[in-house]
Structure 1
């Protein structure tokens, strides 16, 4: 990827045309002010026609002029910080200059989906930069004196002009910003009323600030609040990790997959609080997404498990090209799963699922049960999940050992996971009880997860060793040995599960 950048920490101030520059050299740590540098900057801003990026406080622009010419993507961060990512300027051919680089487009696709990115505003800025120099000659911060001309390009085009100051940290501490703000306020210069130059350029078309998040559910509140808080939290996880999955960040697929499964599980537990047709549709689509994410994640887990098995074996017991065969198969499957995932994340089906989830969070189709007391409704729903887990465990206990027992234990694992997620939603109502139930369910899930991973590993070893290697005329001893080791691991995991289950709360 050709994108790069860093964290942007700055503050903007509204000033009039005749405002004089304050004494910046009086700021703490500032030893000198460098000679001012004049810059002529031009930028075109991109968004969807409905301003999906602006609504999410994301800025995407193509700037020429200055020492940072190129494409800039600014993503919101914590504590008024913004993560700024750059990409090269690319071609200056007019038509091609309006094509957003894929390295940046993929980072905002979860917000824009399949809507085209179009120019929405053009800004010309005459900037004078004053660098604040520290005792060691380092640049602590810069003050930019900007005179801006802006043209809105969408709906009813409009133009405006203004002046603003911007203080941005470079190598200085954050309290330098506080000091700078104090100096400016003493001169009657206040923080800008506008979040960005773009929002000022858009004027009355600029999206309003997003509504505050749902209040924390309370024991005396409606059950719908508990459900909505849990759903909103997981939908937010999907939004935040979609770009990371596209960038192949470590752990991103796992986190996004867990959020997808949590959503699907929560909808199943709380189905009586929502329109059943909405629940059915969303659970079907979330199941599809979880399966796509799972294909990539499961192969990575299996790859690590088999590699660990091989690493612990004495070399003398690894006969034939077993390591090469296992690695080649894993790499091929990882590559196939990765391509399927990329295709899915750029599909109409995925984008419509995101639309449906957003709609669910903003206008949930609640039933009358959602308005009932959470202290009554939620514990009852968790008890139902307990009962389903007990039935699943009883079925496993009475199933003959072998493939059928493996499937039954896997079904019990999924029930334990659903109980865990259900109990976690009740944390605002009864933290201690919720922690006990979810903690126990997680233990069961972990043990049965290890058992299931062993089942999958044995299937791979049997297929490669018992069939493929045999047909090639290769030595199959090591495949059989690893299969036996995995069989013992599964037996140990099952024994631990039954022991833990006997001590259930």
Structure 2
């Protein structure tokens, strides 16, 4: 299976649209000769279109240079998608059967529901390469005439249209924007349809969420939780696929932290046992991700520090020497942790957690007061409630820091500083969730809490790294050279500490004026 990051823009046109001379776009030297071919694609989804409603497409396509199965997953940046390609395999392979490896990558969305054909598309494509100086392919322009047919009972027959796609190759986002502006200036229109499939499926592919102002505290909280849940789910396929640190584990774990933080800081809006149960299950998932993430961080830290130290005079081994055995063992630990994490994401418990999240968001167990419509007076009350929530989170951070400051340097103080870091993180997430209600002042609180979190995070990372190094050095079979290297690295952790920055960032984060401006 291969991966590809797709960066493109789509445009609507009518059948009579004439392409402008793209050589007029700054940075484009030439437009290559056209290639014409026909693409035939069958799209798969659950019967209730769970993939389409999350912007995911799964298809089996023939007729192009990349025949086979394609799974496209939205990425954080608008217009970007992660595309996974898999050859079709045996020519006699049943077209109705989605390969198991692809089906597993979307398991968090399908929850085991059967993937069935939902649409067929024929695309008559005219493709032009957009060239820079020296013949470099900067992008490709596809002029598509498309015919789509729904395969379920809800379709309205055949749908036909024409669209343009401009996909980057070695060009820049600025070039993509310039080509788009040139096409729009010639009569094309930016397309609101994220995919060809969404044109065929119409409103049935929409997620049902229309942006609007939150009118109750319950709506504001639920909207934030839903956005974090969607973000968490978007990293699930990447976590299943990754065999190294690609940041997907970290981002999925961060999304879970934000969910748990809001469940806790907004507990006065919630009632019953559901929030506590959900929080507990999210912690179980975060722990599995955390095991992998901690090993990722340690490896990256040790590799970087070894590179910075350099040659044999400093660390006891030459730069051409193989990777030390203890570092290779760390990589093996990470691979084993990733395997356990993948197993965790296949469990019935994980599927039940996702179902529980869906049920929570569909009918949040909030208090009656949180459901009240926010008329003018009630909106003031809502702002007051958000200020109180932030103030409570800030007080907890202040108490943790005060306890740490009263202790002498040592493990006890480090534990309280770690608690301060977690409290700062919770304050940050709480303030970020309140930005739609409180605006820039809440964003400022979040930014300053993040700086405290970063400084104390670097301190905690150094402590964890030192402990790990000392455990490895305690192995009686460790070589003399490796023992020397480990000792040098233990010393280095002290010099990579940023705790001397804490007084400055703390003074800004604890400024009473921040609360007054909310």
| Shift of residue 42, structure 1, vs aligned partner | 4.5
- Corresponding residue of 1:222: 216
> Partner of 2:58: helix, strand, or coil?
strand
CA distance in 1, matches of 2:469, 2:300: 14
Aligned pairs for 1:344-493 (under 5 A) are 344-370=344-370, 371=372, 373-399=381-407, 401-465=409-473, 467-468=474-475, 470-472=476-478, 474=480, 476-487=483-494, 493=499
In structure 1, what is the equivalent of residue 375 of structure 2? Answer: none
1:261 and 2:234 matched: no
| Contact 1:100-1:117 within 8 A present in 2 as well | yes
State the SS of the aligned residue for 1:297.
helix
- Contact 2:74–2:234 (CA<8 Å) still a contact in 1? no
Shift of 1:277: 1.6
Distance 1:396 1:363 in 2: 41
Structure 1 residue 264 displacement after superposition:
0.8
SS at match of 1:45: strand
- What secondary structure, in the 3-state scheme, does the structure 1 residue paired with 2:291 have? helix
Residues 1:333 and 2:333 aligned together: yes
Determine the C-alpha separation between the residues in 2 that align with 1:85 and 1:328: 29
Match of 1:91 in 2: 90
Residues 10 and 103 of structure 1: CA distance in aligned 2, closer, same or farther (over 3 Å): farther
Structure 2 residue 258 is matched with structure 1 residue 240: no
Equivalent pair of 1:146/1:163 in contact (CA under 8 Å): yes
TM-score computed with the length of structure 1 as normaliser: 0.77
Change beyond 3 A, Cα 1:424–1:202: closer
Contact 1:409–1:448 at 8 Å: present in 2 too? yes
The 3-state SS of whatever aligns with 1:460 is: helix
Distance 2:109 2:53 in 1: 9
- Which of 268, 274, 281 is the aligned partner of 1:272? 268
Shift of 1:200: 7.1
CA contact (8 A) 2:261 2:426 kept: yes
For 1:500 and 1:5, the matched residues in 2 are separated by 38
State the Cα distance separating 1:227 from its structure 2 match.
2.0
Shift of 1:403: 2.8
Asked whether the 8 Å contact 2:59–2:69 carries over to 1, the reply is yes
Gaps of 5+ in 2: 24-29, 169-175, 373-377, 512-518
2:117 paired residue number: 119
User: Hey, what's the Cα distance between the residues in 2 that align with 1:200 and 1:323?
Assistant: 52
Give the Cα separation in 1 of the matches to 2:197 and 2:271: 40
CA distance in 1, matches of 2:504, 2:82: 49
Quote the offset at 1:324 in angstroms: 0.7
* Residue equivalent to 1:18: none
Show the 5 A alignment for 1:53-202.
53-65=51-63, 69-75=67-73, 86-95=85-94, 97-101=95-99, 104-105=102-103, 107-122=105-120, 125=122, 141=141, 143-145=143-145, 150=149, 152=151, 154=152, 156=153, 160-161=157-158, 163-169=160-166, 173-175=179-181, 177-178=183-184, 198=197
In 1, distance between residues paired with 2:158 and 2:453?
Answer: 60
Contact 1:417 1:445 in 2 (8 A): yes
1:250 is matched with: 246
User: What is the CA RMSD across the aligned residues, in angstroms?
Assistant: 4.3
Residue 377 and residue 471 in structure 1: after superposition, are their counterparts in 2 closer, same or farther (change >3 A)? same
Distance (Å, rounded) in 2 between the aligned partners of 1:253 and 1:389: 27
Residues 38/413 of structure 1: CA separation in 2 closer, same or farther (3 Å cut): closer
Q: Do the aligned partners of residues 8 and 485 (structure 1) sit closer, same or farther apart at CA in structure 2, a change above 3 Å counting?
A: closer
Check the 8 A contact 1:303/1:327 in 2, yes or no: yes
Closer/same/farther in 2, CA of residues 334 and 176 from structure 1, 3 Å limit:
same
Moved more, 399-408 or 249-258: 399-408
| Conserved 8 A contact 1:423-1:437 | yes
- Number of residue-to-residue matches in the alignment: 475
Residue 169 of structure 1: how far off its partner (Å): 4.5
**What is the distance in 1 between the residues matched to 2:205 and 2:328?**
52
CA distance in structure 2 between the aligned counterparts of 1:464 and 1:409, rounded to whole angstroms: 25
Whole-Å separation in 1 of the counterparts to 2:449 and 2:192: 49
The structure-2 alpha-carbon separation of the partners of 1:342 and 1:170, relative to structure 1 and needing over 3 Å to count, comes to closer
Alpha-carbon distance in structure 1 between the residues aligned to 2:209 and 2:194: 17
Pairwise CA distance, 1:454:
1.8
Q: Is the 8 A contact 2:129 2:140 kept in 1?
A: yes
Change (3 A) 1:91 1:502: same
Shift of 1:487: 4.8
Could you say what secondary structure the match of 1:98 adopts? coil
